[in-house]
Amino acid sequence: MTDKPGEGADECRHWAPLSWQSWQRREAGVSRAARYEYPLYTDAYVTEYSVSIGPFEFINTLAHDVRDPRMAPGIVLRLDVHPDSDTAPYSVGTDLGQLETQAEEWLGLAEHDEVAVLASLALGIRLRSTGATRQFLPDGDPLGQPIEYDHRPPPWTITSNSTSLVLPGYAEREVCLTELKDWFDRYRRLPAGDALTLVRAARNYRDALWIADDDPETAWLWLVSALEAAAVREQITGIDKIELLGMWKRKVKRLIEETGDEVLLRRVAKELASLGNTTARYLKLVEVYAPGPPLKRPSEHLRVDWSPEGLAQAAELIYNYRSRRLHEGTPFPWPMYGAPFHSMAINESVAPERPGGIASHSGRNRWTAEDLPMHLHIYTYLTRGTLLNWWKVRAERAEDQPA
pLDDT at 136: 96
Q: Is the pLDDT of residue 160 over 60?
A: no
The secondary structure of 88-113, three-state, reads CCCCCCCCHHHCCCCCCCCCCCCHHH
pLDDT at 9: 36
CA distance 36 to 374: 42
pLDDT at 8: 40
Query: 72, 42 in Cβ contact below 8 A?
Result: yes
End-to-end CA distance of the chain: 17
Q: Residue 275: pLDDT band by 50, 70, 90 thresholds?
A: low
Beta carbons within 8 Å of 308's beta carbon, 6+ residues apart: 287
Q: Of 193-202, 210-219, 261-270, which gets the smallest average pLDDT?
A: 261-270
CA distance readout (Å), 148 to 60, 130, 132, 342, 351: 20, 10, 7, 42, 41
Query: pTM, whole model, 2 decimals?
Result: 0.86
- Residue 281: CB atoms within 10 A of its CB come to 20
Mean pLDDT, the chain, rounded, equals: 85
pLDDT higher for 70 or 140?
140
Q: Of 43-52, 85-94, 116-125, which gets the smallest average pLDDT?
A: 85-94
SS3 77: strand
Q: Calculate what percentage of the chain has a pLDDT beyond 70.
A: 84
Name the strand (E) or helix (H) holding 368: strand 365-368
In sign, the C-alpha dihedral spanning 184, 16, 24, 146 is negative
Closest CA to 351 of 383, 381, 311: 381
CA distance 22 to 241: 43
Q: Of 151-165, 281-295, 298-312, 362-376, which gets the smallest average pLDDT?
A: 151-165
- Of the segments 132-141, 235-244, 264-273, which one has the largest average pLDDT value? 132-141
Provide the b/e sequence for 235-244 (b: ≥16 CB within 10 Å): eeeeeebbeb
Closest CA to 188 of 386, 56, 33: 56
pLDDT at 11: 39
CA distance 60 to 74: 6
Pairing of the two strands 174-176 and 45-47: parallel
Q: Residue 330: pLDDT band by 50, 70, 90 thresholds?
A: very high
pLDDT at 68: 58
Condensed to tens digits (0 to 9), the pLDDT of residues 212-247 reads 998 999 999 999 999 999 998 886 555 677 776 776
How buried is 296 (Cβ within 10 angstroms: 0-12 exposed, 13-18 middle, 19+ buried)? exposed
The DSSP result for 288-310, as a single string, is HHPPPPPSS---GGGS---SHHH
CA distance 380 to 357: 22
Closest CA to 170 of 262, 45, 338, 85: 45
Q: Of 90-94, 295-299, 345-349, which gets the smallest average pLDDT?
A: 90-94
